[in-house]
Amino acid sequence: MTRMTSFSDGTIVPVLGQGTWMIGDDPKTRDTEQQALSRGLDLGLSLIDTAELYGDGRAERLVGEVIQSHRDEVFLVSKIRPENAGEMTMMLHAEKSLERLGVDRIDLYLLHWESRFPMEEIVAGFEELIDEGMIARWGVSNLDLRAMNRLMEVEGGEHCATNQLLYNLGSRGIEFDLLPWQQEHLQPVMAYSPLGRGGLLEHPALLAVADRHDATPAQIALAAVLRQDGVVAIPKASTVAHVEANAAALEIELDHEDIEALDRAFPPPATAQPLDII
Ligand code: NAP
């Protein structure tokens, strides 16, 4: 079963995608990582998140090999490093990403985190890439609520499709204000590190809820993030077994008792929090 959500332009994407940070770095594990991403595509996890930063382009190259024969099925997300997002360099870096990915268009191109270049310049650069047909839409990552409000005042800023954010049970600050803001603006939150980079998975509360569902803690961590509307989770998995387990998390429905137990262990924010960033 694939659950979907939509961007404000009506484009539909699955709520569960695949991350690629730390993938493609080691020649010994490359084949296994490719098999994992391919299996994810078979299972409908067709949104793939990568970045020029990851392995200095190695992750984009690996993704490019995997999607070659599936280009039309894949919703491809990549990111530009903030120091490359000025008017003199953005197009060159987008071209390099396209080349490594082996595609002529990126579906969603993100500013990886806030830049010293003014947002006016960055938005104009993104819009030019759209005009050139190199990207279909653009968004940001790691911007807090204040920065998002500022972005909405920039000409064209309302075209921002998403804000990719750290969001998992151990990092719930955005539930107070930024997640509702993005839901209202029809800008899905792309939840990065939804498994807390693996660090959450030994937590006794997660183990207890997992037991009740005959599931794993990773699956419960994903189900917890995905129960919110307008969230796309992008776990990174480098084995077929992990990808299959993650896809199966879409079937899990947490009940009232589960949510209470998780809220006791990982309390939701009661006040505005500074944005968590990795
Ligand atoms: P994550 O997805 O929270 O966790 C990845 C870890 O969880 C890996 O060790 C992985 O192991 C393990 N794992 C995956 N599926 C599992 C399963 N079913 N059971 C047990 N363990 C499992 O961490 P992340 O890689 O930091 O975040 C995901 C993606 O978000 C990244 O890959 C990247 O695309 C994106 N991201 C974006 C930003 C940003 O600034 N925009 C920052 C960080 C991450 P294996 O590898 O062995 O499968």
Name 127's Cβ contacts closer than 8 Å, sequence gap at least 6: 138, 156, 159
Q: What is the pLDDT of residues 119-133, one digit of tens each?
A: 999 999 999 999 999
Atom 34 of ligand 1: nearest residue by CA position: 19
What confidence category does residue 111 fall into, taking pLDDT thresholds of 50, 70 and 90? very high
Largest Cα–Cα separation, the chain? 55
CATH entry, 4-199+230-252, from 3.40.50.300, 3.20.20.100, 3.30.1050.10, 3.40.50.720: 3.20.20.100
What confidence category does residue 242 fall into, taking pLDDT thresholds of 50, 70 and 90? very high
pTM for the model stands at: 0.98
Q: H or E element: which one contains 127?
A: helix 119-131
Give 156 Cα–ligand 1 centroid separation in angstroms.
Answer: 32
Please give the structure tokens belonging to residue 34. 């490719």
Bridge partners of 190, per DSSP, are: 164, 232
Task: Indicate whether 221 pLDDT > 70.
Answer: yes
Residues with CB under 6 A from ligand 1: 19-21, 49, 112, 141-142, 164, 192-198, 201, 216, 218, 234-239, 242, 245-246, 278
Task: Indicate whether 18 pLDDT > 70.
Answer: yes
- The pLDDT assigned to 250 comes to 98
SS3 letters across 246-274: HHHHHHCCCCHHHHHHHHHHCCCCCCCCC
Q: Closest ligand 1 atom, CA of 165?
A: 41
- The pLDDT assigned to 134 comes to 98
Name 275's Cβ contacts closer than 8 Å, sequence gap at least 6: 142, 143, 144, 145, 165, 166, 173, 174, 178
Please give the structure tokens belonging to residue 207. 């183990």
Q: Which of 115, 242, 246 to mutate to test the pocket of ligand 1 (most atoms within 8 A of CB)?
A: 242
- The pLDDT assigned to 73 comes to 96
Percent of the chain residues topping a pLDDT of 70: 100
Task: Indicate whether 85 pLDDT > 70.
Answer: yes
Q: Closest ligand 1 atom, CA of 241?
A: 18
- The pLDDT assigned to 2 comes to 79
Give 19 Cα–ligand 1 centroid separation in angstroms.
Answer: 6
Please give the structure tokens belonging to residue 206. 């997660």
Contact 95, 259 (CB under 8 A): no
Domains of the chain by residue range: 4-199+230-252
- The pLDDT assigned to 207 comes to 97
- The pLDDT assigned to 157 comes to 98
Task: Indicate whether 1 pLDDT > 70.
Answer: no
Task: Indicate whether 93 pLDDT > 90.
Answer: yes
